[in-house]
Structure 1
Amino acid sequence: MMSNARAPFCLSTLLLAVAVLSFPSSAYSLDAKVISQLKKLNEADQLEQRCDIEGMEQLHADKVISYTFSRPIRAPIHLLASGAVFRRKGDWYRLSYDCTTSRDHLRIEAFRYAEGARIPRKDWPSLYLYP
């Protein structure tokens, strides 16, 4: 049974997400502005955001959320997000990913993922997903 575990709200995480999503969809790579925003976050948020950015790049998605169906499992440079989701072309899909970064969380060392089923629109409100 899956739970709808939510990570605590963090203003700095929200600001980074807004900064990243303000770029054109093909520009998720780490430029100086994104690096500067990442460095302002605590280490756990740096890891999660860097892995989510990598997921957006590889999946051609405009959003990745690591914690929709379950809390990610974290280590200092590793994130296992088996209950993640991503949005592409207006639809949400289940996602599982395994991500390892460099110690500074700026470089991806390994990223593996498995795309899951499309999430029915009727389920979006209960999962806090949006169009």
Structure 2
Amino acid sequence: MPPAKSLLLICAFALTVTVSAGAADPRLIASLGKLDPQTRLEQVCDLAAVNHIGTNGKLPRPDRAKSNVITPPRHHGDTIEGSGGAFRSGGKWYAFSFKCRTSPDHLNVLSFTYRIGAMIPKSKWPEYGLWD
């Protein structure tokens, strides 16, 4: 596996683990700092999705979110918007649209809004790169 992809997977795992911890680990910040700014923006906003979507009380707290599943998000400086994200909650994947604005270093989320879409049928998971 290429080193950049390995680092990305480690960051995605670390982001998921730190959700319950509530505070960013300095090692996580250092790892995120090694990513290119656009990837860092997406990773930080994916974490925001996990944190925010779980608070609406309609679904179990998500354990994973990806901003670029169905369609790629649009990057505008420190903001990313998308209508093709997906999150996993209770073993099922759901579509979501969102807008996420971060600090200039793309390490802190300043605002995050979202709208939950339909459940994604399991038959579509391979097409979108989703998993159990």
User: TM range, normalised to the smaller chain?
Assistant: 0.7 to 0.9
Alignment of 1:74-93 (within 5 A): 74-93=75-94
RMSD: 1.8
TM-score under structure 1 normalisation?
0.84
Counterpart check, 1:104 vs 2:98: no
Per-residue displacement from partner, 1:69-120 (whole Å, max 9, x unpaired)? 1111002201002100000111100010100001111221111000111111
Contact 2:18–2:24 (Cα < 8 Å) also in 1:
no
Which residue number corresponds to residue 121 of structure 2? 120
Per-residue displacement from partner, 1:30-87 (whole Å, max 9, x unpaired)? 2222211111111111111111111111123111111111111002201002100000
Identity among equivalent positions (%) equals 34
Separation of aligned partners in 1, 2:15 and 2:110: 21
- SS class of match (2:87): strand
Counterpart check, 1:55 vs 2:56: no
Residue 20 (structure 1) shift: 2.5
Which residue number corresponds to residue 37 of structure 2? 43
Higher normalized helix content (fraction of residues): 2
When residues 11 and 24 of structure 1 are mapped into structure 2, their CA distance, relative to the original with a 3 A threshold, is closer
Aligned length: 122
TM-score under structure 2 normalisation?
0.83
Separation of aligned partners in 2, 1:31 and 1:41: 16
Separation of aligned partners in 2, 1:28 and 1:118: 27
Separation of aligned partners in 2, 1:95 and 1:58: 12
